[in-house]
Structure 1
Amino acid sequence: MSAALTPIIGQQGVVALYRRSLHLCASTHPRLAGIYNRVQTALDLINLNSVLVEQSEVDALFFGEVLLTTFYELLTTLIGPSLSARLLRDVWDNSLSAPPEQETSP
């Protein structure tokens, strides 16, 4: 998503959306506050991943869904729904068509 959005809103814009998304997730879903407090507010996806793998599967999936939804909603308020959908179409298509990381090919 960062690669798709950086040419439009810049790296600082992507980081700002990420930080705001994290903040909104924690403020609207108190059970996510612990995750929010452990994730740095920079665009550090390695740290985010390490925090999520420590959570239960249900909590990690819930946080991921809420974070992505919040990020997308913020983006649409910034650049509009049509441009947001066009920019992220390839991101969604690639993530849905790629095999899960746990699977291995014979």
Structure 2
Amino acid sequence: MDAALTPILGQQGVAALYRRSLHLCAANHPRLAGTYDSVQASLDLTALKSVLVEQSAADALFFGEVLLSTFYQLLTTLIGPSLTARLLRGVWEPSLSDTPSQETSP
């Protein structure tokens, strides 16, 4: 997401969105407050990863989902849903190794 957004928002803009996302996650989900306190407010993904690996699998997954959805929502409020979807299309697309979902309609 950093590579997709930096040309549009700049490095400081992406870092600000990340910091705001972390802050909102901790404010809206008190159980994440400890994780928020452990992660620096800069865009240091190594620090985030080191904190996540210390969590249980369920907590790490929950934090990751909340952080990504919060980041996406903030970006959508700033630049709109259409541009957000276009900029992050490559980030959200499943990898080529993923099994394609099967259509269930008759």
Settle same-fold status: TM greater than 0.5: yes
Structure 1 residue 75: Cα displacement: 0.1
Unaligned runs of 5+ in 2: 99-106
**Percent of counterpart pairs with the same letter?**
76
Scaled by the length of structure 1, the TM-score of the pair is 0.89
Scaled by the length of structure 2, the TM-score of the pair is 0.89
**RMSD value over aligned CA atoms?**
1.2
| Superposition pairs of residues 1-106 of structure 1, within 5 angstroms | 1-93=1-93, 96-97=94-95
- After TM superposition, what 4+ stretches of structure 1 lie above 3 angstroms from structure 2? none
The structure where helix makes up a greater share of residues is 1
Unaligned runs of 5+ in 1: 101-106
- How many residues in Structure 1 have an aligned counterpart in Structure 2? 98
Query: Could you tell me which residue of structure 2 aligns to residue 104 of structure 1?
Result: none
Larger radius of gyration: 2
